[in-house]
């Protein structure tokens, strides 16, 4: 007999291990979907889909071929995500190029550390423009498109553990506020679009090793962060791929309105 997954000796078997493996790791079907991922260059989850904003399309295509994945049609788009007219124009071009969008991942974002009493109002508004309004504008376009086309799609909003905790020792009230807003936006959209079969969820990363946190000062901060991370290390960007693929695929077909915190255990305290 095939092996089973058991929770205890008193419970009857619920899932065949072979079925679980086929369901969760059937990634090829996800690669056939049209996915649009926003990225600001040094964002938290730049490496969600083999991608890195610092790489050329030719380099990414070569990596796809090397890994034996299905051929991918990758195209870059440049857009001011806080400009509604620019977002509408970019979205229209994407739909024209691909015909539809099945998955949207809003990963563009900026960060900054300034004491609340010293925060310049224009800088505050700029943070919210990119992190909150940019997410809203693209999610709105995706929602309208999916509803009109009858697409039971998946929208993945990249938030942060900073949306549910206050980081230390750095002061970053604007960033924390913006990421908390993204979580509430995700839950609100999930409640409204569920009737259309559209799932909306969030990935909330912890600290990640990117070009944005290199340098002597950031190394000092990283040592402080690691003290509070049960896994005792900073995450690598590629460690978020699995979570993203899971949310984008039918393996998570009953998941919506959820925030998955991927932080090495930082928020357990």
Q: Which residues span the domain enclosing 115? A: 44-268
pLDDT at position 22 is: 46
pLDDT at position 71 is: 63
Structurally, the chain folds into a number of domains equal to 1
Is residue 210 one of the residues assigned to a domain?
yes
pLDDT at position 64 is: 61
Is residue 39 one of the residues assigned to a domain?
no
175 catalytic? Reply is yes
Question: What distance in Å separates the CA atoms of residue 127 and residue 123, rounded to the nearest whole number?
Answer: 6
Is residue 1 one of the residues assigned to a domain?
no
179 catalytic? Reply is yes
Phi and psi at residue 116, to the nearest 5°? -55, -40
Question: What distance in Å separates the CA atoms of residue 45 and residue 247, rounded to the nearest whole number?
Answer: 14
* Prediction pTM value: 0.82
Is residue 130 one of the residues assigned to a domain?
yes
pLDDT at position 115 is: 94
Catalytic residue among 159, 162, 175, 266: 175
Question: What distance in Å separates the CA atoms of residue 182 and residue 81, rounded to the nearest whole number?
Answer: 15
Is residue 24 one of the residues assigned to a domain?
no
Residue 41 Ramachandran class (φ > 0 left, ψ -120 to 50 alpha, else beta): left
The set of long-range contacts for 18-27, using a CB threshold of 8 Å and a minimum separation of 24, is: 23/251, 24/246, 24/251, 26/249, 26/250, 26/251, 27/245, 27/249
Is residue 157 one of the residues assigned to a domain?
yes
Is residue 107 one of the residues assigned to a domain?
yes
Is residue 32 one of the residues assigned to a domain?
no
pLDDT at position 73 is: 74
Catalytic residue among 154, 160, 162, 252: 160
pLDDT at position 57 is: 53
The set of long-range contacts for 175-181, using a CB threshold of 8 Å and a minimum separation of 24, is: 175/111, 175/112, 175/113, 175/127, 175/131, 177/128, 178/109, 178/127, 178/128, 178/131, 178/132, 179/131, 179/204, 181/128, 181/131, 181/132
Residue by residue, pLDDT tens for the chain (269 residues) are 443 333 333 333 333 444 444 444 444 454 457 778 876 544 444 355 434 444 555 565 666 667 666 666 778 888 999 999 999 999 999 999 999 999 999 988 888 889 999 999 999 999 999 999 999 999 999 999 999 999 999 999 999 999 999 999 999 999 999 999 999 999 999 999 999 999 999 999 999 987 767 788 888 899 999 999 999 999 998 898 889 989 999 999 999 999 999 999 999 98
pLDDT at position 56 is: 55
pLDDT at position 1 is: 41
Catalytic residue among 179, 204, 249, 252: 179
CATH of the domain at 79: 3.40.50.720
């Amino acid at each position: 007999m095939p092996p089973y997954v058991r929770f205890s000796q008193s419970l009857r078997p619920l899932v065949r291990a072979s079925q679980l493996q086929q369901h969760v790791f059937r990634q090829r079907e996800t690669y056939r979907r049209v996915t649009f991922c926003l990225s600001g260059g040094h964002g938290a989850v730049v490496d969600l889909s083999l991608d890195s904003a610092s790489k050329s399309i030719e380099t990414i295509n070569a990596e796809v071929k090397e890994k034996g994945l299905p051929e991918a049609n990758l195209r870059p788009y440049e857009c001011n995500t806080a400009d509604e007219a620019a977002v509408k124009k970019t979205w229209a071009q994407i739909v024209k190029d691909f015909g539809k969008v099945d998955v949207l991942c809003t990963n563009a974002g900026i960060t900054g550390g300034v004491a609340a009493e010293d925060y310049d109002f224009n800088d505050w508004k700029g943070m919210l423009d990119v992190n909150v309004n940019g997410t809203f504008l693209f999610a709105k376009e995706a929602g309208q498109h999916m509803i009109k086309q009858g697409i039971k799609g998946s929208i993945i909003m990249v938030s942060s553990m900073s949306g549910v905790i206050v980081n230390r020792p750095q002061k970053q009230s604007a960033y924390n506020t913006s990421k908390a807003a993204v979580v509430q936006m995700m839950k609100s959209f999930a409640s409204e679009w569920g009737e259309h079969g559209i799932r909306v969820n969030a990935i909330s990363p912890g600290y990640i090793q990117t070009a944005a946190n290199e340098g002597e000062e950031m190394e000092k901060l990283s040592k402080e962060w690691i003290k509070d991370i049960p896994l005792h290390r900073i995450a690598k960007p590629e460690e978020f791929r699995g979570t993203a693929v899971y949310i984008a695929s039918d393996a998570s077909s009953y998941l919506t309105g959820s925030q998955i915190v991927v932080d090495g255990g930082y928020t357990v305290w």
